[in-house]
Amino acid sequence: MSDSLDDRLRKTSEEVRDLEQQFDKFNRDNALRLTMGTLPPARIAEGQELQSRLYEARQRQTSLLLGSISGSSNRLEVATKTLNQTTDTQLRTAEFQSKTAESQVRVTSKLLRSSRRLEKLTLFLIVVTLANIVVVVENILPLLYTVILMGFVLLALFFAFRYPMAEKSPNPEKK
C-alpha cells in the first residue's frame, strides 16, 4: 500500500532531521579527534558517506515538497475557479433580484395610482347617488329636511375629498 504524499514528506523530513543530528554529532566528534591528532581514513569515508546520505535525503525532501506545493497549487486553482463561478452566479442572481424589485416597485406604484382613481370614481358615484336621493326626498319631504340632507351630503363630500381612504405614499420614481 503506497503512502500519501504528506506521509512520505513527513517521513523524509524526519529522516533528514535524524541525519542532520547524526552529521552534527559526527562533526563535533571529529573536532574533538582533530584536537587530539589526525582523523583515520575510515572516519573520513564514514563522514563522506553520512554527508552523501544527508544530501540524497534532502533531494528527496525537496522533490516531495515541490510535489506537495504543486498539488496545493492545483487545488487552489480549482478552488479559485469554483469561487469565481459561484461569485458570477451570485452576481447574476443579485442583478435578477434587483430587476425584480424594480419591477415590483413599478407595479405597486401603478396599482396605487389605479387605487386612487377607483377611490375617486367611487366617491363620484356616491355623490351622484346622494344627489339622486336628495332629488327624490325633495319631492317627499319639506324644504328644511332637504336643505339639512344636502348639508350632510356636502359635509360627506368635504370629508371624502379631504381625507381619502387610500393612504398616499411618496412615489419612488419621482426622486
CA–CA separation, 131 vs 133, rounded Å?
5
CA–CA separation, 129 vs 3, rounded Å?
94
Q: What is the pLDDT of residue 167?
A: 52
Query: Cell numbers of 69, please?
Result: 506545493
Nearest to 9 by CA among 89, 74, 68, 54: 68
How is 101-113 classified by DSSP, letter by letter?
Answer: HHHHHHHHHHHHH
Q: What is the pLDDT of residues 113-156, one digit of tens each?
A: 887 778 777 877 877 787 777 677 667 767 777 777 778 777 87
pTM: 0.51
Q: What is the pLDDT of residues 59-100, one digit of tens each?
A: 999 999 999 999 999 999 999 999 999 999 999 999 999 999
Q: Among residues of the chain, what percentage have pLDDT more than 70?
A: 87
CA–CA separation, 34 vs 122, rounded Å?
116
Q: What is the pLDDT of residue 154?
A: 77
Q: Map grid coordinates 344627489 to a residue.
A: 131
- The residue among 101 and 140 whose pLDDT is bigger is 101
Number of separate helices (H) and strands (E) present in the chain:
3, 0
Name the pLDDT band for 175 (thresholds 50, 70, 90). Answer: very low
Name the pLDDT band for 33 (thresholds 50, 70, 90). Answer: confident
